[in-house]
Amino acid sequence: MKFRGKIIDVACLNHFTRVITTISKLTKMCVLRLTPDNLFFVLSGKVANGGVSMWCELSQANFFDEYQMEGVSSEDNEICLEVTPENLSRALKTVQNAKAVKVKLTKKHCPCLTIAAELPTLSSASRVVTHDVPVDVIPRRLWHEFKEPNMPDFDVSIYLPPLKTMKNIVDRMKNLSNFLVIEANLNGEMNLKIETDLVSVTTHFKDLGNPPWGDDASQDGGASQSRDPEAMVEARVDIRRLQQFLMGQQVNPSKAMCNIVHQRVVHLILLHEDVSLQYFIPAVA
Amino acid sequence: MKCVLEGNGVKAFGKAIHALSRIGEDLWLDPMVKGLALRSVNVAHSAYSCFLFSPLFFQHYSLGSASEQGNETIKCKLVMKSVLPLFRCLTSIERSVERCQISLSASSDQVIIQFFCRHGITKTHNLRFQESEALQAVFASHLCPNVVKAPARLLGDMVMHFPASQEEITLSMTPLRVSLRNYYEGGNDHMRTMYTEMSLHPDEFDYFQVGMESDITFCLKELRGFLSFAESHCLPVSVHFGAAGKPVCFSMEDMVLEATVVLATLIDSENSGPSQPTGTPVSSPRCADAAALTVVSHGADSTKPQDTPAVTELIASSQGSPIIKPPALIQLLPQTDNPDGLGVPGEACAGATTTPASTTICSLLFRALSSEQDDDGCAARLPVLACYSDTEEDMEGDYTRSPSL
Q: Do B196 and A132 touch (CB under 8 A)?
A: yes
A128 and A17 inside one domain = yes
Domain contains A274: no
Domain contains A266: no
Which of B153, B174, B176, B195 to mutate: most A Cβ within 10 Å?
A: B195
Domain contains A187: yes
Q: Do B198 and A121 touch (CB under 8 A)?
A: no
A100 and A173 inside one domain = no
Q: Do A127 and B195 touch (CB under 8 A)?
A: no
Give the CA angle between residues A117, A120, A125 to the nearest 5°.
95
Of B190, B191, B201, the CB nearest to A123: B201
A125 and A219 inside one domain = no
CA dihedral sign, ordered B294, B299, B300, B303:
positive
Among A146, A175, A208, which residue terminates a domain?
Answer: A146
Categorise residue A263: left if φ over 0, alpha if ψ from -120 to 50, beta otherwise: left
Q: What is the pLDDT of residue B325?
A: 30
Domain contains A277: no
Assess contact for A166 and A246: CB atoms under 8 A. Answer: yes
List of chain A residues whose C-beta atoms are within 8 Å of the C-beta of residue B199: 127-128
Residue A91 in contact with partner chain B when CB distance is under 8 A: yes
Assess contact for B17 and B257: CB atoms under 8 A. Answer: no
Domain contains A283: no
In angstroms, what separates the C-alpha of B162 from chain A's closest C-alpha?
9
Q: What's the predicted TM-score (pTM) here?
A: 0.74
Q: Do B200 and A90 touch (CB under 8 A)?
A: no
Q: Do A121 and B160 touch (CB under 8 A)?
A: no
Q: Do B200 and A124 touch (CB under 8 A)?
A: no
Q: What is the pLDDT of residue B369?
A: 59
pLDDT over 50 (residue A94): yes
List of chain A residues whose C-beta atoms are within 8 Å of the C-beta of residue B190: 109
A134 and A160 inside one domain = no
Tens digit of each residue's pLDDT (9 = 90 or more) over B125-138: 999 888 888 788 77
Q: Do A127 and B200 touch (CB under 8 A)?
A: yes
Q: What is the CATH number of the domain that holds A186?
A: 3.70.10.10
Q: Do B161 and A128 touch (CB under 8 A)?
A: no
A28 and A134 inside one domain = yes
Domain contains A264: no
* Neighbour-count burial of B232, counting CB atoms closer than 10 A to its CB (0-12 exposed, 13-18 middle, 19+ buried): middle
Among A126, A146, A166, which residue terminates a domain?
Answer: A146
Q: What is the 8-class DSSP label of residue A6?
A: E
A133 and A177 inside one domain = no
A123 and A232 inside one domain = no
Of B192, B199, B203, the CB nearest to A128: B199
- The domain tally of chain A equals 2
- Print pLDDT tens along chain B (405 aa): 899 998 889 999 999 999 999 999 999 998 888 899 999 998 888 899 999 999 999 999 988 765 455 455 677 899 999 999 999 999 999 899 999 999 987 778 889 999 999 999 999 999 988 888 878 877 888 888 999 999 878 888 888 889 888 888 999 999 988 999 987 766 556 567 889 999 988 888 999 999 888 899 999 988 999 999 999 999 999 999 988 888 999 999 999 999 999 999 988 644 444 433 333 333 333 443 333 233 333 223 333 333 333 333 333 334 444 433 333 221 222 222 333 333 333 333 333 333 333 334 555 666 665 543 333 333 334 443 444 334 444 443 334 444 443
Residue A10's H or E segment, with its range, is helix A10-26
In angstroms, what separates the C-alpha of B178 from chain A's closest C-alpha?
10
A136 and A189 inside one domain = no
Q: Do A123 and B204 touch (CB under 8 A)?
A: yes
Of A84, A110, A121, the CB nearest to B191: A110
Q: What is the pLDDT of residue B186?
A: 62
List of chain B residues whose C-beta atoms are within 8 Å of the C-beta of residue A82: none
Among A104, A122, A146, which residue terminates a domain?
Answer: A146
Q: What contacts B82, CB < 8 A, 6 or more positions away? A: B127
CA dihedral sign, ordered A133, A139, A140, A143:
negative
Its ipTM equals: 0.81
Q: What is the pLDDT of residue B185?
A: 65
Domain contains A275: no
A142 and A176 inside one domain = no
Return the higher-pLDDT residue of B275 and A200.
Answer: A200
Assess contact for B260 and B249: CB atoms under 8 A. Answer: yes
Core vs surface per residue A136-170: b (16+ CB within 10 A) or e: bebeeeeeeebeeeebbebbbbbbbbebeebbebb
A139 and A161 inside one domain = no
A29 and A102 inside one domain = yes
A225 lies in which domain range? 156-258
A 51-90 → B contacts, CB under 8 A = 84, 87, 90
Assess contact for B196 and B164: CB atoms under 8 A. Answer: no
Which of A129, A133, A137 to mutate: most B Cβ within 10 Å?
A: A129
List of chain B residues whose C-beta atoms are within 8 Å of the C-beta of residue A127: 198-201, 204
Domain contains A236: yes
Q: What is the pLDDT of residue B66?
A: 53
A94 and A204 inside one domain = no
